Structure 1
Protein backbone atom coordinates (compact mmCIF):
# COMPACT_ATOMS: atom_id res chain seq x y z
CA UNK A 1 0.00 0.00 0.00
CA UNK A 2 1.04 3.62 -0.55
CA UNK A 3 -0.43 7.10 -0.33
CA UNK A 4 -1.98 8.05 -3.68
CA UNK A 5 -3.06 11.66 -3.18
CA UNK A 6 -4.20 14.37 -0.80
CA UNK A 7 -7.43 16.17 -1.71
CA UNK A 8 -7.94 19.90 -1.20
CA UNK A 9 -11.20 21.73 -1.92
CA UNK A 10 -10.52 24.95 -3.83
CA UNK A 11 -12.65 28.00 -4.63
CA UNK A 12 -11.03 28.99 -7.94
CA UNK A 13 -9.65 26.02 -9.87
CA UNK A 14 -7.71 27.94 -12.56
CA UNK A 15 -6.04 30.10 -9.91
CA UNK A 16 -5.14 27.03 -7.83
CA UNK A 17 -3.80 25.08 -10.82
CA UNK A 18 -1.72 28.13 -11.75
CA UNK A 19 -0.28 28.32 -8.21
CA UNK A 20 0.68 24.66 -8.03
CA UNK A 21 2.08 24.53 -11.57
CA UNK A 22 3.57 28.00 -12.16
CA UNK A 23 4.70 28.86 -8.62
CA UNK A 24 5.47 25.44 -7.10
CA UNK A 25 6.57 23.83 -10.37
CA UNK A 26 4.18 20.86 -10.41
CA UNK A 27 2.55 19.54 -13.55
CA UNK A 28 -1.16 19.32 -14.26
CA UNK A 29 -1.42 15.54 -14.64
CA UNK A 30 -5.10 15.28 -15.47
CA UNK A 31 -8.36 17.17 -15.11
CA UNK A 32 -11.90 15.85 -15.36
CA UNK A 33 -15.19 17.74 -15.25
CA UNK A 34 -18.24 16.00 -13.72
CA UNK A 35 -21.18 18.25 -14.71
CA UNK A 36 -23.82 15.90 -13.33
CA UNK A 37 -22.08 15.92 -9.95
CA UNK A 38 -21.31 19.65 -10.24
CA UNK A 39 -17.59 19.34 -9.57
CA UNK A 40 -14.22 19.25 -11.35
CA UNK A 41 -11.10 17.35 -10.27
CA UNK A 42 -7.56 18.35 -11.19
CA UNK A 43 -4.53 16.29 -10.19
CA UNK A 44 -1.14 18.02 -9.85
CA UNK A 45 2.25 16.67 -8.89
CA UNK A 46 5.94 16.35 -9.63
CA UNK A 47 5.67 13.04 -11.42
CA UNK A 48 3.38 10.37 -12.79
CA UNK A 49 0.62 9.19 -10.44
CA UNK A 50 1.76 5.59 -10.87
CA UNK A 51 4.99 6.35 -9.00
CA UNK A 52 4.34 9.56 -7.03
CA UNK A 53 1.93 10.93 -4.48
CA UNK A 54 -0.05 13.83 -5.94
CA UNK A 55 -2.55 16.51 -4.90
CA UNK A 56 -6.17 16.35 -5.99
CA UNK A 57 -7.74 19.80 -6.32
CA UNK A 58 -11.53 19.57 -6.09
CA UNK A 59 -13.70 22.45 -7.29
CA UNK A 60 -17.39 22.22 -6.37
CA UNK A 61 -19.46 24.43 -8.65
CA UNK A 62 -20.55 27.66 -6.99
CA UNK A 63 -18.37 27.34 -3.87
CA UNK A 64 -15.81 30.15 -3.73
CA UNK A 65 -14.18 29.47 -0.35
CA UNK A 66 -13.98 27.03 2.55
CA UNK A 67 -13.39 27.31 6.27
CA UNK A 68 -10.08 25.49 6.69
CA UNK A 69 -10.90 24.58 10.28
CA UNK A 70 -8.41 23.86 13.02
CA UNK A 71 -7.60 20.29 12.05
CA UNK A 72 -5.67 20.93 8.84
CA UNK A 73 -1.92 21.32 9.22
CA UNK A 74 0.06 21.49 6.00
CA UNK A 75 1.50 19.66 3.01
CA UNK A 76 5.29 19.25 3.12
CA UNK A 77 7.52 19.53 0.05
CA UNK A 78 11.23 18.72 0.12
CA UNK A 79 13.71 20.97 -1.66
CA UNK A 80 17.49 21.24 -1.71
CA UNK A 81 17.71 24.97 -0.93
CA UNK A 82 14.79 26.47 1.00
CA UNK A 83 16.17 30.02 0.70
CA UNK A 84 16.51 29.83 -3.10
CA UNK A 85 13.12 28.13 -3.44
CA UNK A 86 11.45 30.90 -1.43
CA UNK A 87 13.15 33.56 -3.54
CA UNK A 88 11.81 31.86 -6.67
CA UNK A 89 8.30 31.55 -5.21
CA UNK A 90 8.30 35.18 -4.10
CA UNK A 91 9.48 36.34 -7.55
CA UNK A 92 6.63 34.36 -9.14
CA UNK A 93 4.07 36.09 -6.91
CA UNK A 94 3.75 33.40 -4.22
CA UNK A 95 3.01 34.28 -0.61
CA UNK A 96 5.68 33.34 1.96
CA UNK A 97 4.05 33.18 5.41
CA UNK A 98 7.09 31.96 7.36
CA UNK A 99 10.46 33.09 6.10
CA UNK A 100 13.12 30.43 5.60
CA UNK A 101 15.28 29.59 8.57
CA UNK A 102 15.93 26.96 11.22
CA UNK A 103 12.95 25.37 12.91
CA UNK A 104 12.23 26.35 16.49
CA UNK A 105 14.27 24.14 18.84
CA UNK A 106 16.10 22.48 15.94
CA UNK A 107 18.38 22.93 12.97
CA UNK A 108 16.22 21.82 10.04
CA UNK A 109 15.76 24.68 7.56
CA UNK A 110 12.13 25.27 6.63
CA UNK A 111 9.66 27.87 5.40
CA UNK A 112 5.92 28.06 4.75
CA UNK A 113 4.03 29.33 1.72
CA UNK A 114 0.29 29.71 1.30
CA UNK A 115 -1.79 28.78 -1.73
CA UNK A 116 -4.70 30.93 -3.04
CA UNK A 117 -7.18 29.18 -0.72
CA UNK A 118 -5.05 29.62 2.40
CA UNK A 119 -3.65 26.08 2.56
CA UNK A 120 -0.14 26.07 3.98
CA UNK A 121 2.72 24.27 2.28
CA UNK A 122 5.89 23.61 4.26
CA UNK A 123 9.20 23.69 2.40
CA UNK A 124 11.78 21.46 4.07
CA UNK A 125 15.46 21.35 3.27
CA UNK A 126 16.47 17.88 2.14
CA UNK A 127 19.78 16.67 0.79
Structure 2
Protein backbone atom coordinates (compact mmCIF):
# COMPACT_ATOMS: atom_id res chain seq x y z
CA UNK A 1 0.00 0.00 0.00
CA UNK A 2 1.74 3.20 -1.15
CA UNK A 3 1.62 6.42 0.85
CA UNK A 4 -0.43 8.87 -1.21
CA UNK A 5 -0.63 12.11 0.77
CA UNK A 6 -0.14 13.98 4.02
CA UNK A 7 -2.85 16.21 5.49
CA UNK A 8 -2.39 19.33 7.63
CA UNK A 9 -5.10 21.42 9.22
CA UNK A 10 -4.46 25.06 8.39
CA UNK A 11 -5.67 28.37 9.77
CA UNK A 12 -5.51 30.62 6.66
CA UNK A 13 -5.84 29.17 3.15
CA UNK A 14 -4.13 31.89 1.10
CA UNK A 15 -1.16 32.20 3.44
CA UNK A 16 -0.58 28.43 3.48
CA UNK A 17 -1.02 28.01 -0.28
CA UNK A 18 1.47 30.83 -0.92
CA UNK A 19 4.00 29.19 1.41
CA UNK A 20 3.78 25.79 -0.30
CA UNK A 21 3.89 27.41 -3.74
CA UNK A 22 7.13 29.10 -2.65
CA UNK A 23 8.47 25.58 -1.95
CA UNK A 24 7.53 24.50 -5.48
CA UNK A 25 4.13 22.90 -4.90
CA UNK A 26 1.22 23.62 -7.23
CA UNK A 27 -2.41 23.79 -6.22
CA UNK A 28 -4.29 20.99 -7.97
CA UNK A 29 -7.83 21.59 -6.74
CA UNK A 30 -10.07 22.69 -3.89
CA UNK A 31 -12.86 20.45 -2.64
CA UNK A 32 -15.52 21.57 -0.19
CA UNK A 33 -16.57 19.21 2.60
CA UNK A 34 -20.21 20.18 2.98
CA UNK A 35 -20.18 23.59 4.75
CA UNK A 36 -17.65 22.36 7.30
CA UNK A 37 -14.31 22.66 5.52
CA UNK A 38 -12.32 23.04 2.31
CA UNK A 39 -9.53 20.70 1.25
CA UNK A 40 -6.80 22.25 -0.86
CA UNK A 41 -4.81 19.60 -2.73
CA UNK A 42 -1.23 20.36 -3.77
CA UNK A 43 1.40 18.51 -5.77
CA UNK A 44 4.88 18.96 -7.15
CA UNK A 45 5.11 19.80 -10.87
CA UNK A 46 5.02 16.68 -13.03
CA UNK A 47 4.11 14.45 -10.08
CA UNK A 48 1.06 12.53 -11.17
CA UNK A 49 1.48 9.41 -8.99
CA UNK A 50 -1.61 8.39 -7.06
CA UNK A 51 -2.88 11.94 -6.70
CA UNK A 52 -1.82 15.07 -4.85
CA UNK A 53 0.89 14.66 -2.21
CA UNK A 54 -0.35 17.31 0.20
CA UNK A 55 -3.85 18.02 1.50
CA UNK A 56 -4.42 21.27 3.40
CA UNK A 57 -7.69 21.28 5.34
CA UNK A 58 -9.29 24.58 6.30
CA UNK A 59 -12.19 24.27 8.78
CA UNK A 60 -14.77 27.06 8.56
CA UNK A 61 -15.33 28.95 11.79
CA UNK A 62 -11.93 28.14 13.30
CA UNK A 63 -10.94 31.10 15.48
CA UNK A 64 -7.40 30.15 16.49
CA UNK A 65 -4.46 28.21 15.06
CA UNK A 66 -4.09 24.49 15.69
CA UNK A 67 -1.70 23.00 18.20
CA UNK A 68 0.82 20.82 16.41
CA UNK A 69 1.53 18.53 19.35
CA UNK A 70 4.66 16.66 20.28
CA UNK A 71 4.27 13.71 17.92
CA UNK A 72 4.67 15.57 14.64
CA UNK A 73 8.15 15.69 13.12
CA UNK A 74 8.32 17.03 9.57
CA UNK A 75 7.86 16.31 5.90
CA UNK A 76 10.85 16.41 3.56
CA UNK A 77 11.37 17.74 0.06
CA UNK A 78 14.51 17.84 -2.06
CA UNK A 79 16.36 20.62 -3.83
CA UNK A 80 19.23 20.33 -6.31
CA UNK A 81 20.70 23.61 -4.98
CA UNK A 82 19.89 24.38 -1.36
CA UNK A 83 21.54 27.82 -1.40
CA UNK A 84 19.52 28.92 -4.44
CA UNK A 85 16.33 27.55 -2.90
CA UNK A 86 16.94 29.40 0.36
CA UNK A 87 17.68 32.62 -1.56
CA UNK A 88 14.36 32.31 -3.42
CA UNK A 89 12.52 31.62 -0.17
CA UNK A 90 14.21 34.60 1.53
CA UNK A 91 12.81 36.87 -1.19
CA UNK A 92 9.35 35.77 0.03
CA UNK A 93 10.16 36.26 3.70
CA UNK A 94 10.76 32.58 4.48
CA UNK A 95 13.87 31.92 6.55
CA UNK A 96 15.42 28.64 7.67
CA UNK A 97 15.42 27.76 11.37
CA UNK A 98 19.23 27.74 11.20
CA UNK A 99 21.81 27.68 8.39
CA UNK A 100 22.15 24.50 6.30
CA UNK A 101 24.17 21.71 7.87
CA UNK A 102 25.15 18.07 7.48
CA UNK A 103 24.05 15.42 9.96
CA UNK A 104 27.34 13.61 9.38
CA UNK A 105 30.34 14.10 7.13
CA UNK A 106 29.58 13.21 3.52
CA UNK A 107 25.81 13.39 3.97
CA UNK A 108 23.50 15.77 2.14
CA UNK A 109 23.13 19.33 3.42
CA UNK A 110 19.76 19.98 5.02
CA UNK A 111 17.80 22.75 6.69
CA UNK A 112 14.31 23.26 8.05
CA UNK A 113 11.68 25.93 7.44
CA UNK A 114 8.29 26.32 9.09
CA UNK A 115 5.02 26.90 7.30
CA UNK A 116 2.56 29.60 8.46
CA UNK A 117 0.98 27.15 10.92
CA UNK A 118 4.31 26.03 12.39
CA UNK A 119 4.70 22.71 10.58
CA UNK A 120 8.36 21.86 9.89
CA UNK A 121 9.57 21.17 6.36
CA UNK A 122 13.00 19.62 5.82
CA UNK A 123 14.77 20.65 2.62
CA UNK A 124 17.41 18.13 1.57
CA UNK A 125 19.99 19.07 -1.02
CA UNK A 126 20.17 16.29 -3.59
CA UNK A 127 22.82 17.18 -6.10
CA UNK A 128 22.20 15.38 -9.41
CA UNK A 129 24.83 12.77 -10.06
CA UNK A 130 26.49 12.85 -13.42
Give the superposition deviation at 1:48. 5.9
CA RMSD after TM alignment: 1.7
Q: Which residue of structure 2 lines up, in the alignment, with residue 45 of structure 1?
A: 43
- Shift of the alpha carbon at 1:119? 0.4
Task: State TM-score, norm by structure 2.
Answer: 0.86
Runs of 4+ in structure 1 deviating by more than 6 angstroms, as ranges, are none
| 1:65 aligned partner | 65
The aligned residue for residue 115 of structure 1 is: 115
In structure 2, runs of 5+ residues without a counterpart are none
Aligned length: 124
Give the structure-1-normalised TM-score: 0.88
Greater per-residue strand proportion = 1
Query: What runs of 5+ residues in structure 1 fail to find an aligned partner?
Result: none
What is the Cα deviation at residue 31 of structure 1?
Answer: 0.5
d(CA) in 1 for partners of 2:86 and 2:99?
Answer: 8
